[in-house]
Structures are given as structure tokens and as C-alpha cells.
Amino acid sequence: GGGLCGCALRGVSPVSTAPLAVPCPDGQSECPDDATCCVTSSGAWGCCPMPQASCCADKVHCCPHATICDLTRGRCVSPAGDTDVPLGTAFPAWKRQPPAPVALRQVLCPDGRSACPDGATCCQLSPTQYGCCPLQNAVCCGDGQHCCPQGTTCDLTHSTCTSLGGSAPLAALPTAGDVKCDEWTSCPDGNTCCRLSSGAWGCCPLEQAVCCPDHVHCCPQGYTCDPEGGSSLPRGGQVTSGNVICDETMSCPDGTTCCRMSLGTWGCCPFSQAVCCPDLVHCCPQGYTCDPEGGSCLQGEGTRRPWLHKTPALPHGGQLTSGNVKCDEKTSCPDGSTCCRLSLGTWGCCPLEQGSCCSDGRHCCPAGSRCTGGGWGCSSQRWDLL
């Protein structure tokens, strides 16, 4: 069939998520998920390609969990004698990167003034106005109101998109953008107008974003552009008047919403009065519901927009949070708990004194026990990080 497009374009492009990583104790190096950080002979961190591995004393090799390095024989052996495998070799870890700026993207319409988001198609609504069909390489219908997927034709009589395999309802065309850049140009709702290096307008897929001086990138509200590092940096972690208070220690920038993240910490959704999704990772604008199956935000009878990832909340004024267990100069955990690095490099609090942090960046185990199954179990009992 032609494929139904039931979504009106009102969207913010999703920010791609970084691959899962295991943060090393220096707070600057990372290893791939299911690997283990080991110090190398140079003093730098390396990655053993096994979860919860044993790092060998030669600072070159490593062995699987619950085995011992036998450097004389070049083998990994278990105390029970039921395992005897060759030594593994660590490879260099990479430096943890702060969130990358978002690239400005747009599809310029034939009038040279209107623009649609990347992946959409410009369709003429009237002699002076363009609309955005939320489909790539779409077919614009002759009525100036609808569009169909590539490879289909518009059947205006029956209000369907037809192909050899069948038909589907026509998709309505929203106008090309609701955020006015100037009297001729606009960006989609939820975007920010930023000047491109050519002098033309580009659309940053973030609400109330910061336009970077390079005229190529933009950063979320509350961040500043770091041209040397090519990244988005928190604006000093300072709380200004109007900031959104999550609790007595954490806050989000003005115009955002505090949402709990999967590890119990606070995250900031870049919408005011947003809906926090049950997966504890995404959020949607007010008036929308989270659609986990479609990976989007749903409104009414089928209007969709991509959902957004939350960014970690900041301590008030960059000061230590309440608690006596210091993780670094800005973050701490409650007394009687343990600081553990989360998968994104931020700190989480294990509700156990001298707990063992699992390599998945999500769980921890009691002192004296070890994480098993990549963080899904302990030699005794596993606890979730707060």
C-alpha cells in the first residue's frame, strides 16, 4: 500500500543518543559497554573486552570475571580449576566527550525563503506559500493541501494515496513553520531560527536554543557553545532567577521541566510543563502523550512529533548536594551511600555503604559481593542506583 502518514509537522528532531559506555575511575576515559577499565603500563586507562574482568598485574593483559592471571603460563585460570583460557589484551580507552552540538538542518523550498525540516518535502500551498510534507521525496497533491508517499499517486476523489498494492488516506499539509525568523522565513514549531554561514536562516531542532558563533551548530537552552571542544557546555551550572527547581539541590533551566531519569536522578526536558514518559528517558510537549511503540509523542487522532531525550539536571549554583559522601567538587551522595558513575558519565548514588559499582552504569552490589551477568545480579543481592 501507499503507507499512511498521519502526522502533522510540528516537531523537534530527536537528539541522537550516545552509545552505552563504561566510565573509568578518572572520570575522563570510557570503555565500550560490557568492557572493563584497566590501568595500562603507560598509566593511561585501557579497556579489557570483558565485563567485570580481572586486570593483570603486568598492566597489559586481563582475564574473565572470577579467574586469576597466570602470567608465567600466559593463561587465565579459575580457583576451582575448571577454567583455563589464554590471557586477554586491553586496548586503549577513549576520552569521554560532552554532548555534541546539534547541526542546523533544513530543506530549502523553491522560493528560496521557506524551509522545511531535514527529511521533509516542500509542497506549494498557494502561489506565495509552501507547506512541509512530513515524508521524504513525497508526492505533492494538486489540491495544495495533501501529500502522498514516494511511489504513490494522489486520488483526490477518494482522498487516498494509491499504488499497485492498495491505498491509504491522504496526509494533510501543515504550513511551512510556525517560528518566524523574519517576514519571509520561518522554522517548524519547537525550533529556533539561527543564521547559517551563508547568511540565510537555518532551523535548530531545539526550542529556545543557543545559536553558536560558527553559524553551523546550536546548543540546548542553558548551555554555551565550546568552539574548541566542539561541544555544548553547561552555562557554569549557575541557577539564575526563573530556573525550574527539581528538589532542594537540583534545578533545570527556565522553560524546561524536571523529569526523573531511569537511575532516579533528575533530568531536564526542553519543554515547559512537559509530559515525562514512563520509560524515564524521553519526554513530550504539553498536550501530547508518550507513544513508546512509535518512539514519538502523540496528540489527538494521530498528530505526532519526535520525542526528546532529557539532559542531566545541575546542582544549585554548582555547589555540593546534601550529603557527606563527595563524588567530586560539585556532586555528593547521601551519607551511607556510594558514588557510582552512570553510563553517561554523570554520578549516581548506590544506597549501600562501600557498594560495588557494576560496569553497566545502572546497578550496584553490597560490599564484599560482585556484580554478575553484566549488572543483572550480585553474588548476593543487587541494588538499583538512585
Once rounded to an integer, what is the mean pLDDT over residues 302-313?
A: 57
9's CB contacts (< 8 A; 6+ apart) are: 116, 117, 120, 132, 133, 134, 174, 188
- pLDDT for the residue numbered 11: 23
- pLDDT for the residue numbered 307: 56
CATH T-level topology, domain 244-314: Laminin (2.10.25)
pLDDT band at 166 (very low <50, low <70, confident <90, very high): low
- pLDDT for the residue numbered 276: 84
pLDDT tens for 44-78 read: 888 887 888 889 999 888 888 888 898 998 888 98
* Ramachandran angles phi, psi of 374, nearest 5°: 65, 25
pTM confidence score? 0.27
pLDDT tens for 189-198 read: 667 888 776 6
pLDDT tens for 107-153 read: 778 877 777 766 678 888 888 888 777 777 888 888 888 888 777 88
Least-confidence region, from 169-173, 287-291, 339-343: 169-173
Once rounded to an integer, what is the mean pLDDT over residues 214-221?
A: 74
Q: What is the pLDDT of the chain when averaged over all its residues?
A: 68
Every domain range in the chain assigned CATH 2.10.25: 244-314, 320-384
pLDDT band at 248 (very low <50, low <70, confident <90, very high): low
Strands 29-32 and 94-95, sheet pairing: antiparallel
Options 3.40.50, 2.120.10, 2.10.25, 1.10.760; CATH of 320-384: 2.10.25
